Chains A and B, each alone.
Chain A
Amino acid sequence: MATTATTHQTKWWSGGKSPFNLEYGKLMMWYFLMSDAFTFGAFLISYGSIRFSQNYWPDANHVFNAFPGAGHADLPLAFVSIMTFILIISSVTMVLAVHAGHHMDRKGVMKYLLWTIIGGLAFLGCQAWEWTHLLTGEHAALVDGTIKLLPQTPSINPWGQFADHAAVAEALQHTPKETLISLVHEHHHDLTHSQLAAMSQTDLIGQLDVASMHVRNQGPPAFGSYFFGITGFHGFHVFSGVVINIIMLIMTYKGVFDHRGHYLMIEKAGLYWHFVDLVWVFVFLCFYLI
């Protein structure tokens, strides 16, 4: 706000100068980001619209509760909070790179750009782990009168409401032996796979306590479609941001910006990177928090 006093005395619209006092490329980056905000906004609002049209929606805390190396421990919000802090910190290093650029500090720009790139790659790594975990998971669900072990994919959702106990007991009778072995193994780790394979269908069912199994029905498939679609689109933005930052790092290293006399390109790349962080605030809000 300290600058407002100065700007009011200047006649911005009298010609000969940019009325917004911005270089063309930076102004266009702003308008691109505004349109991109509407793209993301449309996706998220579509998700909200579908969610409001359902009587039941899976609880994110049941779906996203895993942490690398923690096995089956129930840790809602833990992993995604790490991803969130990675993005916040990489946003800080980016704004420090922009600041170093203002001072024509080539080494500072390179140092902070490198940290930003590392942060971006770390975030992408986390997302890759999260997606893999969801896509390869096995959750017992009641499907067409049998029990199936389902992953969370763009079209399958194993997080419906808890299935009726009587229906589960009935479904177990029609469930393939392989699935029963996996189900029993989940609850009785002491039994080896070959021991279980030697047991009969009835004995296997006898090992299972329907009340403690927490078998669910299938949930709305839109849950996965929106989750993978929108986090994927965001991840693609992170990826392209990392690529842009790597190009900026190479250009800085080669002294392109020193030769030009300004580091404006770093500012534009910075705007894009902050936008990626900004979008994550809302992706995080819509998919994990509420």
Chain B
Amino acid sequence: MEQHHQTISPEVTFHHAPSDDTVKRIWKTTWVLSGITLVELALGFGIAKSWYGDSSGLILAVKGVICILSLAKAFYIVSIFMHLGDEIRNMIMTIVVPLLLFVWFITAFIWDGNSYKNLRNKYDPYFKETTMPVKHKEEKKEVPAENKSGKE
């Protein structure tokens, strides 16, 4: 508004005019973030209480949804709270484009971890035998001979 002619630096020529909209936008973002968090908690609570049964595919899908919701939260925090959305496009790109490295970073290392698991299960029977999840408590009784001392 009027008092917003601050002399930060002679080279910084343009000032965003903070208006009453800003406060409205802050509170709107607060509700959005809280809402998303509540949905995440509800979905996570569902995993804890086995609402989705034993179908690992469904649980994985729910976890995927939670990941996407977290990314939405990150977008709101960075864009609104940190005001990155109000900056000049070129500046936004110098922050966002390097972050694309994460696409490779996450894919490569998760893939690598998974590959290591598969290789060990294939070539290290002791690892497989001692760490492979036992399906159910009922089934456990059928295999009491399976002890953890690793005798083979």
CB of B74 to closest CB in A, whole Å: 6
Choose, from A52-60, A151-159, A224-232, the stretch at the interface.
A52-60
Q: Contact between B117 and A55 (Cβ–Cβ < 8 Å)?
A: yes
CB of B127 to closest CB in A, whole Å: 8
CB of B37 to closest CB in A, whole Å: 6
CB-contact partner of B12 in A23, A77, A278, under 8 A: A23
Q: Contact between B9 and A45 (Cβ–Cβ < 8 Å)?
A: no
CB of B6 to closest CB in A, whole Å: 4
CB of B2 to closest CB in A, whole Å: 10
Q: Contact between A77 and B45 (Cβ–Cβ < 8 Å)?
A: yes
Q: Is A184 among interface residues, defined by CB-CB distance under 8 A? A: no
CA distance A52 to B140 in the complex (A): 24
Q: Is B18 among interface residues, defined by CB-CB distance under 8 A? A: yes
Q: Contact between A84 and B81 (Cβ–Cβ < 8 Å)?
A: no
CB of B144 to closest CB in A, whole Å: 5
Q: A51-B113, A282-B74 are in contact. Are A56 and B133 (CB under 8 A)?
A: yes
Q: A34-B98, A77-B44, A264-B8 are in contact. Are A166 and B140 (CB under 8 A)?
A: no
Q: Contact between B8 and A271 (Cβ–Cβ < 8 Å)?
A: no
CB of A215 to closest CB in B, whole Å: 12
Q: Contact between A164 and B112 (Cβ–Cβ < 8 Å)?
A: no
Q: Contact between B88 and A41 (Cβ–Cβ < 8 Å)?
A: no
Q: Mark A11-41, 1 if CB is under 8 A from B, else 0.
A: 0100011111111100100110010011001
Q: Contact between B48 and A20 (Cβ–Cβ < 8 Å)?
A: no
Q: Contact between B128 and A55 (Cβ–Cβ < 8 Å)?
A: yes
Q: Contact between B88 and A7 (Cβ–Cβ < 8 Å)?
A: yes
CA distance A17 to B13 in the complex (A): 7
Q: Is A73 among interface residues, defined by CB-CB distance under 8 A? A: no
Residues 153-173 (chain A) with a chain B CB within 8 angstroms: 161-167
We find that the number of chain B residues with CB closer than 8 angstroms to chain A is 78
Choose, from A96-104, A121-129, A237-245, the stretch at the interface.
A96-104
Choose, from A87-95, A201-209, A248-256, the stretch at the interface.
A87-95
Q: Contact between A18 and B148 (Cβ–Cβ < 8 Å)?
A: no
Residue of B nearest to A12 (CB): B88
Q: Contact between A166 and B144 (Cβ–Cβ < 8 Å)?
A: yes
Residue of A nearest to B112 (CB): A49
Interface SS majority for chain B? helix
Residue of A nearest to B21 (CB): A2
* Chain B residues in 8 Å Cβ range of A282: 70, 74
* Chain A residues in 8 Å Cβ range of B14: 3, 6-7, 10, 21
Q: Bin the interface of chain A by size.
A: 35 or more
Q: A48-B106, A104-B3, A164-B148 are in contact. Are A20 and B90 (CB under 8 A)?
A: yes
CB-contact partner of A262 in B7, B22, B106, B114, under 8 A: B7
* Chain A residues in 8 Å Cβ range of B12: 17-18, 21-23
25 contacts between A and B (CB under 8 A): A7-B14, A10-B13, A22-B12, A27-B91, A31-B94, A34-B95, A37-B99, A54-B131, A55-B127, A56-B131, A56-B133, A84-B37, A85-B34, A91-B77, A99-B18, A102-B18, A103-B1, A103-B18, A142-B148, A274-B77, A274-B81, A285-B40, A285-B67, A289-B44, A289-B63
> Would you list the 5 A-B pairs with minimal beta carbon distance, nearest first?
A52-B113, A49-B113, A61-B48, A262-B6, A20-B91
Add 4 more A-B contacts to A59-B48, A94-B81 (CB < 8 A): A1-B85, A162-B140, A278-B74, A289-B44
B residues contacting A by CB (< 8 A) are: 1, 3-4, 6-9, 11-14, 16, 18, 22-23, 26-27, 30, 33-34, 37, 40-41, 43-45, 47-48, 63, 66-67, 70, 73-74, 77-78, 80-82, 84-91, 94-95, 98-99, 101-102, 105-106, 109-110, 112-114, 116-117, 120-121, 127-128, 131-134, 137, 140-141, 144, 146-149
A residues contacting B by CB (< 8 A) are: 1, 3-4, 6-7, 10, 12, 16-24, 27, 30-31, 34, 37-38, 41-42, 45-46, 48-56, 59, 61, 76-77, 81, 84-85, 88-89, 91-92, 94-96, 99, 102-104, 142, 145, 161-167, 217, 261-262, 264, 270-271, 274-275, 277-278, 281-282, 284-285, 288-290
